Amino acid sequence: QVQLVESGGGLVQVGGSLRLSCAVSGITVSMYAIDWYRQAPGKQRELVAGIQRRGTINYADFVKGRFTISRDNAKNTVYLQMNSLKPEDTAVYYCNTYIPQRNRERTDYWGQGTQVTVSS
């Protein structure tokens, strides 16, 4: 029922910009935390940015000042504006949400991912 679909990735040069979109269905984004993660081949998946139900925003240190997460409640979509891109930003970017369970477990939902490649 819950589905997240990322789009907007592509190939850019160092210093360029991309805007990623996460279109969400099955839940209302204003009522759940939505996070952006990224994963490069052979590396751990890492949190990039997140926006909480009340609008609280968190960023990983390595993207502060360069990336902006935002939410359009009317479109049920979360965005990640990425500026001043670096080669280290090359990864597959995923959006994520989770639904807490009563036993403190959580059910996570992931999109398929969108590839971002930053050339030097």
pLDDT tens per residue, range 60-86: 999 999 999 999 999 999 999 999 999
- The sign of the torsion formed by the CA atoms of 26, 33, 106, 42 equals positive
What share of the chain in percent tops pLDDT 90? 94
* Amino acid letter, 111: G
> Helix (H, G, I), strand (E, B), or coil: what is residue 57?
strand
**Cα separation of 109 and 66, whole Å?**
26
Residues 6+ away with beta carbon under 8 Å from 90: 40, 116, 117, 118
Average pLDDT, integer, range 6-35? 97
Strand partners, 96: 35, 110
- The pLDDT score that the predictor gives to residue 74 is 97
pLDDT single digits (tens) 27-40: 999 999 999 999 99
